Structure 1
Amino acid sequence: MFIILLMSTIILMIAIIVMMIASLLSKKTFIDREKSSPFECGFDPKSSSRLPFSLRFFLIAIIFLIFDVEIALILPMIMIFLYSNMIMWLSTSMIFILILLLGLYHEWNQGALNWST
């Protein structure tokens, strides 16, 4: 029992020493102004901060969030398919998909999905 404890302690110490040496060897000592500046969604952080915000970027981000939440709501509906009332499940899923399709049609009509301009 003592030998197993001693061996595991030695292996643990060797692993810690190897990790510390690897950490010291992999550190970058060259500090660059470009690398130490934050990356802000494709905007240049060194230019003027008073540039107008792109409304198209904002709309695309909102559409992405809406459809991301849609997937998070549809996946549990698939999981409970076998355990629920078929008529209630079908009516709930059809209403949900109809609302999503109406929203997509509205965005399409408003031109938010037009990538050419």
Structure 2
Amino acid sequence: MLSMYMISAMFFSIVTLMMIAASVLSKKTFNDREKSSPFECGFDPLANARIPFSLRFFLVAMIFLIFDVEIALLMPFAFNPLLLSTYYWGITLFFFILVLLMGLYHEWNQGALDWSE
């Protein structure tokens, strides 16, 4: 048992030393005007190439992904309900859907689902 602790401590120290060495030896990059502008055949850019990204679109995409993954997690319950006992199956689905609805209520309460803007 003691040797297991020593091996774990040795691996932890080696990993820690490697992370510190990588942090110290890594090349630091500095952004200047030339590197941060898009390449347009050597000419200065005519307009700003970095258009603002809609945060509303990002939030809608994240909400879609969350609900999509949760639906994918519910699918095995629908296709094979005989795998679990009926009581356990019902309690598990109830709490899973309860957490899903609480998340939906939180998003609605925070205004992420308000499309009037």
TM-score (structure 1 length as normaliser): 0.57
- Whether 1:82 and 2:82 are equivalent positions in the alignment is yes
Q: Which residue of 2 aligns with 1:49?
A: 49
- Whether 1:103 and 2:83 are equivalent positions in the alignment is no
- Whether 1:68 and 2:68 are equivalent positions in the alignment is yes
Give the drift of 1:108: 0.2
The whole-number CA distance in structure 1 between the counterparts of 2:111 and 2:51 is 24
The whole-number CA distance in structure 2 between the counterparts of 1:49 and 1:94 is 49
Unaligned runs of 5+ residues in structure 2 are: 1-46
Give the drift of 1:48: 3.3
The residue identity in structure 2 corresponding to 1:52 is P
Unaligned runs of 5+ residues in structure 1 are: 1-46
Give the drift of 1:97: 0.1
The residue identity in structure 1 corresponding to 2:97 is I
Give the drift of 1:82: 2.0
Query: Aligned runs of 1:11-30 on 2, under 5 Å?
Result: none
- Dislocated runs of 4+, deviation >4 Å: none
The whole-number CA distance in structure 2 between the counterparts of 1:82 and 1:69 is 23
Percent identity, aligned pairs only, is 61
The whole-number CA distance in structure 1 between the counterparts of 2:49 and 2:87 is 55
Q: How many residues are paired up? A: 72
Q: Which residue of 2 aligns with 1:59?
A: 59
The residue identity in structure 1 corresponding to 2:48 is S
The whole-number CA distance in structure 1 between the counterparts of 2:54 and 2:109 is 20
